[in-house]
Structure 1
């Protein structure tokens, strides 16, 4: 595939725009660490919402969706669609709590909620564990997708893609800080959406594909179309739908889908003007992320089954791709090679935009952990604002280098996705409950973190998985590994919670006074404070969580209805699509009514 002058103009014009934004905001971003990592807490909801969407629109996402569709059908996407429940819970329950906390990173929360050496250790350790280890793995997965795109579409060696894509991104990220990331995300979002939609329309109508109807009727595609798994296939039903909806969404920690909010989603909520803007940003993000964005990728994945029905056909068409990088996820890049001049430039620019948005966010978020939660806490407590900004820029470069080396060793995006889910299995319930149950302490989180990680490693590196989950001889069904980790981890952290001392009265009362979480889980602390003539309740407002859960359920129904209705309109199943569209209207009205009845909402 050869790029023409128009393609180069589009791509380099985009690079110039992003670098200009980074340089333009670099002076103000470098004034203080709060500016560099949170943009002075002055961001509006719509800009933060677009930034969240752009960040999760990474180069590995269309590859992952393509892999899921080609391997397991459209219903395979429930592995990540289930996190909508987490997202809606964050919108209507946790967004205002995060903004009210006024912490600089979500890890600073540990020393707000817990006390003593255990809280200090937890904050520092997770700064390295999440900010470096998990962050580098996530960025390596994104960079792996860029390597595959560069190899298939442009015939580039992996190291050429890593150096060229990474260099511009790290320069832009180190200069512009959080404000540069968010401002550029505004343009990156529209570029990425234009590329995804334009590519889907063109590729479905290729002569060798034959149009939408031909795709839907193709023998390679027919059994992949269902949005829900086959209810007669017990294994598929359990693995694709029941486990994600019943267990995975609340029990697993995953970047961008953390139960109770966290990571770069929390960073954006903390950067919002106020609680209302934090809520508005996360709600807007969830609508765009789940309801509107998946279908262009799904259509390309389905069309790819017509042109490249298996991995062998992909390898035949692209013999220069090495064996260790072959997989169904390559089909997305393979289809992109068929785009015409102009649209090809837009799509390549959109993929670069997706890459830069995700990597720049991960770099800024990860370096914020290193600066606030490790460097300032462990190495230099008296660090000046200038020193913290400089450390942030240095750590940004180092994180990029580490992820680049790891990306060269990885093979498949889905494998990374599943590994991260396993590492976080069983920890999610703590992140949900720690705001509303006084008895959870720092040891609860420490034991959950280590037990889930150790179990995940054991299952991946030993014969334990075969012994427990082998199809014929295992003790448990083969789909039970994630629930197994969740159950064992939950038992361990609950045991640790009750055999260790609770947090001190001073810590618990200080947390309640600042956050005002309310609810029965804090009744003991409130009553004891009142008995000691200590006033920690500052409001007479009704506990907002029940209303928040009602809004969450309405929001979930609304967004899933939009997503399903869109799919069935595309499939030409107009009667079902009409019913779902009516459900969209009804659930929107219910949500609006519930929302108006809540206090402190957007």
Structure 2
């Protein structure tokens, strides 16, 4: 499609602002590694919360939601909606603990909680495992989604897109550190929300769609509207509802939804002014991520079924897409081609912003592991602060190059989502319990990480073979991974010695301040349940307003309000 002058002005203007922010904060970010990776630990909850939301709004996120809606209807989103439980667990049980730890990265936790050479090995190995391998896989999925969007909306190939966007995001990420990322995230989130909502309103009003009421009445759409899965369809019920709620949320490690917190979510909690700001930031993130943001993408996904009812319609409409880039996830970008000048510039900028927000966060987070938990811990313990910042900036460039290269060997957003879930399958329970169960030791974590990775690798390679050795549905692969990994690390935990008492006492004194570690546990459990109900109520209320079920929508809105008032009234007891 052809962009107008106003579209180019909007896009170029956004690039210039992003670069200027990086230059503006570069001097302060370069003072020390703590300034570069944690912004001096003085960030407010609202900025951190918005940054968390902006990071999880990657370029591949609208495509993933669209793909889920096209394949399984609105209820297909339960594969990620169920992770709200993971997020709420972090809010009420772990956000405060992370900020209390005073560490620079969540991997530094290992030598705070464990002792001996095994703890050091775990920290260093996991820095490479997460900071490079896991991180690059995540970014590769985002790069692929960005390439698909660029191909459809701009007509440029994958290499050109990666070169242009990669250079820009690397410059401002390496200059501004986390503070630069947080400020650009805030701007990017506003642009992204305006773009996605405005685009949705325009698309619904297209003559081909005929308005919201007509859209919901279309035969291709009406069967996809149920928010809850079809309970009469056993396979769908197991895949979309039972496994996510019974197994997935507590047992898998996934970026942005780590049981007990971790990754870039932990990085932002550690950068907060205090424990209260860390908790509120995480609470806002979970509300906005699960309840505030999904419906514009869902509606566009439903509308795409009217204009492109089959995958073949998408493929024929965009013949320049290579076979490896074809899939239902391109439907979101395909629908954006119907937007007029000006609006397409805003939407395209919002998608670019989503891409840059996620990539910049992943780069800063990944380089923090490389610098703090590998380079300065093992390679050069006496390195100066300037050296650490320099290594952080170099690793930022290298990570971007690796992600762009890997993006050529994956197919769609759902494949990356499934792969990351499988790699983290079975490790979640360990991350939940390690703060409270003293028996867990470094060998528990090493076993969990090794077993889950081997199982995920076997399943991934088998799926790529022309003649697979076995044919097993994805949800059963997840169950097998969770079962074997969980039993494996539990066995290792029971046959190995726990961390020495001196280290455990020091850890508990620092984190729990000598108080009982299960203090106010009843209030925290109730808050966890109330918070979860409140967010789901808002999510369902929005959907029912869209569907025209006003009475039910107002009832759910009232339930959201009651849940919010309960949390506010009992906040001191909860926290």
Distance 1:416 1:134 in 2: 11
Distance 1:315 1:497 in 2: 51
Of 504, 510, 530, 2:506 maps to 510
CA displacement, residues 502-559 of structure 1 (integer Å, 9 cap, x when unaligned):
111111111111111xxxxxxxxxxxxxxxxxxxx63479703332121111100000
Superposed displacement of residue 468, structure 1? 6.9
Distance 1:541 1:29 in 2: 36
1:519 corresponds in structure 2 to none
Distance 2:495 2:437 in 1: 16
Distance 1:31 1:469 in 2: 54
Distance 2:498 2:45 in 1: 37
Distance 1:185 1:268 in 2: 12
CA contact (8 A) 1:43 1:271 kept: yes
CA displacement, residues 242-288 of structure 1 (integer Å, 9 cap, x when unaligned):
11011100100000100000000000000000000000100111111
Secondary structure of 1:109's aligned partner: helix
Distance 1:303 1:110 in 2: 48
Superposed displacement of residue 585, structure 1? 2.1
Quick check: 1:586 aligned with 2:555? no
**How many corresponding residue pairs?**
573
1:123 corresponds in structure 2 to 123
1:569 corresponds in structure 2 to 545
CA displacement, residues 304-331 of structure 1 (integer Å, 9 cap, x when unaligned):
0000011111111111111111000011
Superposed displacement of residue 586, structure 1? 2.2
1:364 corresponds in structure 2 to 364
1:499 corresponds in structure 2 to 495
Residues 434, 542 of structure 1: alpha-carbon distance in 2 compared, 3 angstrom cutoff: closer
Distance 1:122 1:13 in 2: 44
CA displacement, residues 115-170 of structure 1 (integer Å, 9 cap, x when unaligned):
11111111001100000001001001001010000111111111111111111011
CA contact (8 A) 2:527 2:574 kept: no
Distance 1:198 1:54 in 2: 18
Distance 2:34 2:472 in 1: 51
CA contact (8 A) 1:469 1:479 kept: no
CA contact (8 A) 2:48 2:272 kept: yes
CA displacement, residues 35-72 of structure 1 (integer Å, 9 cap, x when unaligned):
00000001000110111111111100001001111011
Secondary structure of 1:185's aligned partner: helix
1:169-568 paired onto structure 2 within 5 Å: 169-462=169-462, 470=472, 479-516=475-512, 538-539=514-515, 543-568=519-544
Distance 2:431 2:4 in 1: 50
Secondary structure of 2:309's aligned partner: coil
CA contact (8 A) 2:124 2:373 kept: yes
Superposed displacement of residue 488, structure 1? 1.1
Superposed displacement of residue 209, structure 1? 1.0
Distance 2:569 2:547 in 1: 32
Distance 1:372 1:585 in 2: 43
Superposed displacement of residue 84, structure 1? 0.7
CA contact (8 A) 1:469 1:481 kept: no
Distance 1:353 1:479 in 2: 33
2:15 corresponds in structure 1 to 15
Superposed displacement of residue 485, structure 1? 1.1
Superposed displacement of residue 466, structure 1? 7.1
CA contact (8 A) 2:520 2:573 kept: no
Distance 1:468 1:2 in 2: 47
Consecutive aligned runs of 4 or more in structure 1 exceeding 3 Å deviation = 462-471, 537-542
Distance 2:238 2:111 in 1: 39
TM-score normalised by length of structure 2: 0.97
Distance 2:559 2:276 in 1: 27
CA RMSD of aligned residues (A): 1.5
Distance 1:466 1:487 in 2: 22
Distance 1:302 1:171 in 2: 38
Distance 2:290 2:134 in 1: 24
CA contact (8 A) 2:29 2:177 kept: yes
1:167 corresponds in structure 2 to 167
CA contact (8 A) 1:159 1:408 kept: no
Q: Which segment drifts farther, 424-433 or 213-222?
A: 213-222
Distance 2:226 2:346 in 1: 31
1:522 corresponds in structure 2 to none
Superposed displacement of residue 215, structure 1? 1.1
Distance 2:113 2:381 in 1: 20
TM-score normalised by length of structure 1: 0.93
1:28-43 paired onto structure 2 within 5 Å: 28-43=28-43
1:533 corresponds in structure 2 to none
CA contact (8 A) 1:43 1:273 kept: yes
Distance 1:441 1:594 in 2: 35
Distance 2:226 2:206 in 1: 23
Q: Which segment drifts farther, 158-167 or 106-115?
A: 158-167
Distance 1:59 1:267 in 2: 21
Superposed displacement of residue 579, structure 1? 2.1
Distance 1:293 1:442 in 2: 38
Quick check: 1:598 aligned with 2:562? no
Distance 2:514 2:237 in 1: 48
